[in-house]
Amino acid sequence: MGAGILLLIVGIVVAKLPGMVWFFAVGWLFKDAEPSDSAIKFYRYIGIFLFIIGVISIIDSL
């Protein structure tokens, strides 16, 4: 259940703040770089996926 809660929290953060996640993942490597629209969408979809996996994991552990 702990892993499910962790995935749920990480999924929410990634879905709500994809630009920040992009910066911490690859943005810090480049000077004055901005994430593309497709990168923002990609990270948002990853966040939604992690959220869904977290919910499934929590439900499965009950």
Q: What pLDDT was estimated at residue 58?
A: 95
Give the CA diameter of the chain: 47
Angle between helix 2-16 and helix 18-25 axes, rounded to 10 deg: 100
pLDDT at 62: 87
Query: Residue 17 is which amino acid?
Result: L
Residues of the chain with pLDDT under 70: none
